[in-house]
Structure 1
Amino acid sequence: MKENRILIGEQDHYLVIPILAEKPKKKIFFIVEDTYFTELNIPMLEEEEVEYQYDYLAFLPISQFQGKEILLKGDYTQNFINGVHTAKHIIKKRQNRPQIHFTPDYGWINDPNGLLYQGGLYHLYFQYNPFDTQWDNMSWGHAISKDLLHWEQIDTVLFPDEDGTIFSGCGIVNEFGLLGLPKDALLFYYSAAGNANELSKGKDFVQKLAYSLDGGNTLTKSLVAVPTICKENRDPKVFYHEPTKAYIMCLWLEGNEFAILCSVDLKKFEISQRLFLDQGFECPDLFELKIEDESGENTQETKWVFWCADGYYYLGNFDGYEFHVEGSKKEAYHTKLPYAAQTISNMDGRVISIPWLRTKTVNKLYTGCMGLPREFNLCRCKGELRLKQSLPKEIRERINIIYSMNSKESKEVNLKWEKESVLGLQLTLKKDQTSKGFHGFILGCEVEYNQENGVIKVGEEQIPIKTPLEELSMIFDSGIIEITANNDIIYAVIQLEHSISNDEINLSSNEISELMIYEVK
């Protein structure tokens, strides 16, 4: 193994690493004062290349090591190490990407983690590999927002260590001042994926605690909250249950099996139930939702929902110890792009969820993004409880109507869209027996609904909705299109092969009774 020492200056905040995405990887250990800081797999060119090339620069936070030397140990090439250097600031390159769907500055992202709200700020942590556009080196990235719409990525907070790589988890506010920490401390439970890297070879997965005393900017790793139950048990989601005055943790164990655990001190969790859920897998969540009647009015009734990564959800009752399923599995997603959604904690009774969208690599710079936040409620639809996934008020308040039409007459809609913002439209179909659907082009993308077969077609994507369409909402953000329909109980997200560049909207409104076109500022 080669060894190179780099002195971290008194004002240096980052170690800058050149990344040539999706090339063969070399393992590098980062060591400070004989202690392993992290271990990373870095893609790089072979030694014989004359001049080192890269797609982007990754910034590894090292402020805590100012004035010290960091040792890089591994089988890297000399050309690679010549490109590694320190920096005081991050250089961002964020052109040609969605405007209101969060994307990383660079690298790969998947599951949203540690979602919480505190002091006017929303925190989005996420599964992150800053060092390639493929899955690897699982760490926790971090972004913040004041409005659930505009996100700013800041420093990565957790990196792989001797307990494993950093898998999914959750965040809560320490409202009762437990663990000897102040009430405004932020607490994070995450899966340490043992045996997923060289430093943790031979270890199993455990659920660990990390905490922050500076508003979530830096996290300190702490105790093991839940020892291994099953070899790769993971994805803890914790919330406070007022009736039993205890904290509840949901945990995926293996296959279709999950666990519910309880704790009064946030330090020791005990299993109160192990349960099997039909086709359930990974990333559990458990929350109580209000029920609306068919007119949209709140009924004062509630129902508990157990949630899994694929968007499968199960209605039932929860008594603080066990969840009892009522009925069969339901599906929240009509396409496969959304996955591993998590709800935001500390929202004062509101349930707002953000999913990961499994989008493709863009410009060799980043892979994956987050879906728009959606506020959850339940509504009665033909006697059946269904999940509503609506835009929260924080986003709806930023919608500006640029065109509206309400007419019983046939009419062609031909518009040019000249705004530098995100386009959306909402339409209602005629309710008479002659309604067959509609067809048109929106920003160059063909959109069609066929009432006879119940299929929405957007570009090459066909979305069977299995129910007559009454109203439809679409948000176009670069190559990502979010679709909701029928009082937000139908939800789908697709990615176009190419970003939207056309500025025209052409619709045949023969079958449309109402149409609203808007921009999201």
Structure 2
Amino acid sequence: MRPDAHFTADGWINDPHGFVVIDGEYHVFFQYVPGSTEWETGIHWGHAVGPDVLSLTLLGSALEPGDGDDGIWTGSIVTADDRARAFYTAVVSPETQVGRIRVATAADQELRSWQKGPVVVDAPEGLGLTAFRDPFVFDDDGVWRMLVGGAMADGVAGLLSYSSSDLRAWHFDGVAASRSSLAQLPIWTGELWECPQLISVDGHDVLVFSVWAADTGYGTVYALGRWSAGRFDVERWGDLAYGASPYAPTVYHDASGRPCITFWLRDVVDPDRTWAGAHSLPWVLSVVDGTLRLTLHGDATRHLRSVDIDDRIEGACVIRWSPRTGEVLEGHTETGVVWTLQVHQDEFALDVGSSRWSLPRSNGPAALILDGPVLELTHDGAVLAAAVAASDAVRRRRGAAADRGR
């Protein structure tokens, strides 16, 4: 079953990136392997358009391997002088972990045709880099900045900083932030910060990235801090999303100018192997009491049908309820229970097969979103997402402590 509200495309998709709004229409770019449901080095940039990021029409590939590129890996898009420019990770086999940053320029206002340009940044020497990829370009009060994720010597993850006055010539400004993979508290941030992106939210500079180590992606985190003159000083670390599925998010501003985020959802796959990978629903970012919070975007709400526990699940649905300690929700199909959500005093615990994921719990309501093979749970500004078997209904059973809990 293909999701109704979560974007998928025939073939393989992963990282969303380069979200652009032009005349009220969203242009969404993403990692794309047409004609295959397996990731491969020779990945493309896919392109889809729509009135929101849930009502998208696939246009095909915007950038393809060739012209010296064995793969078109993740990057970002900026607009200057009425021209959109895509900065992407150009990789050449077999040394794909250390990429080169290349630019392509849109040949039309619809962003359908692109002309590849030169490589503008190579990995700097002297840092012992074993990985270098995922450029994020933004305007910093009249100075163009580029952030690139780098895995440095001795297991240190680095955020590499560049500047430019014209988007053509780039100067390496050094390491904007770094952290050892040995650091465990308050959270672990790995050996490489994949897809690093910076956005201003409620007066705070927020860095988001995905945690990578030993050729494995572990999840997504954020840091609140201060960005100044090519440096980022971390003030607070936090988990960005929960569960094994959310990864490689992109930040952007919606048509109303609000800061938003969309994730790649891993392990969401068509059993018939016609498509693989999905994008999350869009979430609006805010900072409350020093914590980054995610709130479901209004566009997503309009695409979801409100149902109650025990109602039949058809299409993209949302169940809004007030959880109580000891309560257990189960996702049912004709063959039985396919997932279980337990409500504990301080967390929700989602069991799918032999895997368990948790989401912190406090007071207040929660919302459970079901869309075919996608489950998203949101509570108190936090989100957990997982790939599940499509449920026909959600049913409640109560634990022994249910009536005594909040």
TM-score interval, smaller chain: 0.7 to 0.9
Structure 1 residue aligned with 2:247: 339
1:437 to 326, 329, 341: 326
Structure 1 residue aligned with 2:55: 150
Structure 1 residue aligned with 2:178: 276
2:267 to 359, 373, 396: 359
Structure 2 residue aligned with 1:173: 79
Structure 1 residue aligned with 2:311: 415
More strand by share: 2
- Matched-pair contact (CA < 8 Å) for 2:20–2:26: yes
Compute the displacement of 1:402 (Å). 5.3
- Matched-pair contact (CA < 8 Å) for 1:172–1:345: no
1:260 aligns with 2:149: no
Structure 2 residue aligned with 1:134: 38
Going from structure 1 to structure 2, the CA distance change for 1:511 and 1:495 (only over 3 Å counts) comes to farther
* Letter of the structure 2 residue corresponding to residue 377 of structure 1: S
Provide, for residues 330-384 of structure 1, a one-character-per-residue CA deviation record: whole Å limited to 9, x for no partner. Answer: 211221211110112575642111111111542121221111111111111xxxx
Partner SS, residue 358 of structure 1: strand
- Matched-pair contact (CA < 8 Å) for 2:346–2:361: no
Structure 2 residue aligned with 1:163: 69
- Matched-pair contact (CA < 8 Å) for 2:306–2:318: no
1:218 aligns with 2:116: no
Provide, for residues 22-42 of structure 1, a one-character-per-residue CA deviation record: whole Å limited to 9, x for no partner. Answer: xxxxxxxxxxxxxxxxxxxxx
- Matched-pair contact (CA < 8 Å) for 1:469–1:485: no
- Matched-pair contact (CA < 8 Å) for 2:319–2:367: yes
Partner SS, residue 300 of structure 2: helix
The percentage of aligned residue pairs carrying the same residue is 22
Compute the displacement of 1:398 (Å). 4.4
- 5+ residue gaps, structure 1, are 1-95, 178-182, 291-301, 404-412, 430-434, 515-521
- Matched-pair contact (CA < 8 Å) for 1:195–1:204: no
**TM-score, structure 1 normalization:** 0.65
- 5+ residue gaps, structure 2, are 180-188, 211-218
Going from structure 1 to structure 2, the CA distance change for 1:316 and 1:450 (only over 3 Å counts) comes to same
Compute the displacement of 1:187 (Å). 1.2
CA distance in 1, matches of 2:370, 2:96: 47
Going from structure 1 to structure 2, the CA distance change for 1:387 and 1:267 (only over 3 Å counts) comes to same
Structure 1 residue aligned with 2:184: none
- Matched-pair contact (CA < 8 Å) for 1:447–1:459: yes
Going from structure 1 to structure 2, the CA distance change for 1:450 and 1:395 (only over 3 Å counts) comes to closer
Structure 2 residue aligned with 1:303: 204
- Matched-pair contact (CA < 8 Å) for 2:49–2:56: yes
Larger-gyration structure (1/2): 1
Compute the displacement of 1:484 (Å). 0.9
Going from structure 1 to structure 2, the CA distance change for 1:453 and 1:220 (only over 3 Å counts) comes to same
2:135 to 208, 211, 236: 236
Compute the displacement of 1:193 (Å). 0.7
CA distance in 2, matches of 1:233, 1:443: 44
CA distance in 1, matches of 2:53, 2:5: 9
Compute the RMSD of aligned alpha carbons: 2.8
Partner SS, residue 244 of structure 2: coil
Deviates more, 1:463-472 or 1:331-340: 463-472
Compute the displacement of 1:131 (Å). 3.9
Compute the displacement of 1:220 (Å). 1.1
- Matched-pair contact (CA < 8 Å) for 1:163–1:203: no
Structure 1 residue aligned with 2:185: none
**TM-score, structure 2 normalization:** 0.82
1:495 aligns with 2:404: no
- Matched-pair contact (CA < 8 Å) for 2:268–2:278: no
Going from structure 1 to structure 2, the CA distance change for 1:345 and 1:228 (only over 3 Å counts) comes to farther
Going from structure 1 to structure 2, the CA distance change for 1:104 and 1:342 (only over 3 Å counts) comes to same
Aligned residues: 367
